Amino acid sequence: MSIELFTAATPNGIKAAIALEELELPYTVQAIVLGSRAQKEDWFLAINPNGRIPAIIDHDNDDFAVFESGAILIYLARKAGRLLGEGADNESLVMQWLMFQMGGLGPMMGQANVFFRYAEEKIPYAIDRYQRETRRLLEVLDRRLGEVEYLAGDYSIADIANWSWARSHEWSGVSIYGLGHLDRWLQAIAARPAVQRGQAVPDSSATPEEKSKRAEQVIAGARNMLV
């Protein structure tokens, strides 16, 4: 009995896998092919009514299902009793920076990806709007990381959530030039073995050819998803 993770190799998807790895919780993976719209099928909507990944089923807890990546991270951290901040104030700091990602960085980078990378019609106003907002949010992270080692002081699920998005700034067409604290933090988290294992779930394309093929598939899949 363990946790069943429904996921794909996207920023929200790897968040859950990284948390499971960091928290050393046993899990199995069901890879969801987003481009084929498996996430919109009835069996999946019964697990996540929003029809998106990630989602989990906890088979140790009466098959309790959880959707929304932020809620998944909180659920897993509570289950393992780690990475959630100790004491009310520290837990609040973790929540603040987790919500910052869920309500800000994720949605803005997601829209930057749509208009800059996936949409066939290139709309300069929309591209500029979401890229500028992404850069602004990355600057907020940089300032914070100039004061503390990790977003909530100690390493937590807030770092996992923000890192999973911030690491792919190039895919959104946003530079982190001049953001040295952010760069330091990006590299420190990338070096963690659990993060390396989690970010390779559900697949890890090794060669540059495979990676470039995967990028093309992601764009084609995203266009199919956006119809």
Ligand X SMILES: N[C@@H](CCC(=O)N[C@@H](CS)C(=O)NCC(=O)O)C(=O)O
Residue 162 binds ligand X, judged by CB under 6 A:
no
Backbone angles phi, psi at 28, to 5 degrees: -120, 160
Residues binding ligand X: what is the number (CB under 6 A)? 13
Minimum CB separation of residue 25 from ligand X in Å reads 18
**Which residue minimizes CB distance to ligand X?**
52
DSSP 8-state class, residue 32:
-
Rounded-to-integer distance, Cα 52 and Cα 168, Å: 19
Residue placing its CB nearer to ligand X in the complex, 25 or 161: 161
Residue that has been written with the tokens 């066939």 in this structure? 120
Binders of ligand X among 28-57, rule CB under 6 A?
34, 39, 51-53
CB of 106 to ligand X, least distance (A): 6
Strand 3-7 with 55-58, pairing? antiparallel
Q: How many other C-beta atoms lie within 10 A of the C-beta of residue 162?
A: 31
Question: Per rule CB under 6 A, is residue 202 in the interface with ligand X?
Answer: no
Q: Shortest Cβ distance from residue 198 to ligand X (Å)?
A: 15
Q: Which is nearer to ligand X, 51 or 173 (CB)?
A: 51
Min CB(69)–ligand X separation in Å: 4
Phi, psi of 152 (to 5 degrees): -110, 25
Kindly tell me which of 156 and 179 has the beta carbon lying closer to ligand X.
Answer: 156
CA gap 195, 20 in Å, rounded? 10
Site membership for ligand X, residue 11 (CB under 6 A): yes
Q: Give the DSSP per-residue string, 191-205.
A: T-HHHHHHHT-S---
Please identify, using beta-carbon distances, which residue of 44 and 150 lies nearer to ligand X.
44
Tokens of 209: 């050819």
Contact (Cβ atoms closer than 8 angstroms) between residue 204 and residue 27: no
Compute the distance between CA of residue 224 and CA of residue 227 in angstroms, rounded to an integer. 6
Measured from the CB atom, is 45 or 148 closer to ligand X? 45
- Is residue 10 a contact residue for ligand X (CB under 6 A)? yes
The footprint of ligand X on residues 68-97 (CB under 6 A) is 68-70
| 137 burial level (CB within 10 Å; 0-12, 13-18, 19+) | buried
Per CB under 6 A, contacts with ligand X among 95-114 are none
Q: Shortest approach of ligand X to residue 171 CB, angstroms?
A: 12
Residues at the interface with ligand X (CB under 6 A) = 10-13, 34, 39, 51-53, 68-70, 225
